Each structure stands twice: as structure tokens, then as C-alpha cells.
Amino acid sequence: MNPTMSKLIRITPEIRADFVAYLDGELDEQAVERIEGVLAHSNVARNDVEGLAQIYELLDVLPRYEVSSEFTEQTMASIRVSELKPDLREAEWYRVLKDGLPLLAGLVALVSIIAVCFVAANRWVVTDTEILVRDLPVIEQLDVYSEVGSVDFLLRLANDGQLIDEMKSEVEDAGGRR
């Protein structure tokens, strides 16, 4: 790169991000060479890096705090006190319960499904006894229906109210004459 080209170097956000990593010694060899190439030919880049280095040095003025000499003992004492009130999460039964919780949840779900199926089966699936009770009136009259011999005729008869009335009155008349 010649000096005229140096004016054309554009410091991209990626290069700028690498400046900090360069100062922190966190770049690989190839990236270090690239940054040093940029620094060698760009005053702007050198100023940037110098500014970032100074900022990092400025952070040295931030105070570091020290606790009192009793702090360690107080901390240990508070831990001992907390151990007297055992954390439920550390208890064996809690761990067993926690580990077994998915199994327990699965079991509950399975039992619930079985219960729902049982209730549904009882309510909606028709048993032989129920069929027998439902068809009892037909079974009771089975001999009469067999004598008629035609299901079509019986169905037409059931749907024709006028015919039934006529037959009834005829039967009554015959009874009256007798």
C-alpha cells in the first residue's frame, strides 16, 4: 500500500470492532496482520486505537471495594443459619418427587383417560340387555307378527291410522252383533 492509498482506507465497523480485540490480544495471527496493516497506513486508525487504549487505562480509576474483616465470618454464619432451615430443594424427598414428577403426571393422565373411556363406554355403548329391553314389546308380540307373515304390511298398517280405526270399528261391530 502506498501513502496515497492510505487516505483511501475506509475503517469499516468490522475493522473498528477488531481494534478493541487487537488491543486485548484476542485476535488470531491473520487478523493481527490485517489490523497492523491498516494501522501502518492510516492516521485515523492509529488515533482510534490510541483513544481506545486510553479509555481502557481510564478504567483503572474505578474503585475496587474491600469488605470488612468480619464479612467472611458473617457470610459463613449466615450460611450455617440457612442450613438449619434446610432448603426444600436440597431435601431427598423433594428430589425424588421432582424426578418422579413426569412419571406421576403420566400415570395421572393414563388413569384419567381410562376413567373417561369407562364412563363413555357405560353411557354410549349399548349392551345386549339394553337391546332386549328395547325390543321387548316386539318380542312379546312375535307370535302375532309371525302369523301376519309380512313386515311390509305391518309397517303400512302402523303408518295408516285410518285403516287401524276401520279395523277397530269392525272388530267392535262384530263383538256387538255377537
- List contacts with other proteins (CB under 8 A): 16-21, 24, 26, 51-52, 54-56, 58-59, 61-67, 71-72, 74-76, 78-79, 82, 87, 89-90
Closest CB 108 distance from other proteins, rounded Å:
28
Between 71 and 118, name the residue whose CB sits nearer to other proteins: 71
For 94, the grid coordinates are: 423433594
Closest CB 22 distance from other proteins, rounded Å:
10
Angle at the Cα of 43 (from 37 to 41), degrees rounded to 5? 30
Strand ranges, E, within 19-175? none
Who's near 16: CB < 8 A, 6+ residues apart? 48
How far from chain centre, in Å, is Cα 147?
67
Closest CB 82 distance from other proteins, rounded Å:
6
CB atoms inside a 10 Å sphere around CB 107: 11
Closest CB 100 distance from other proteins, rounded Å:
18
Between 92 and 128, name the residue whose CB sits nearer to other proteins: 92
For 98, the grid coordinates are: 421432582
Between 56 and 153, name the residue whose CB sits nearer to other proteins: 56
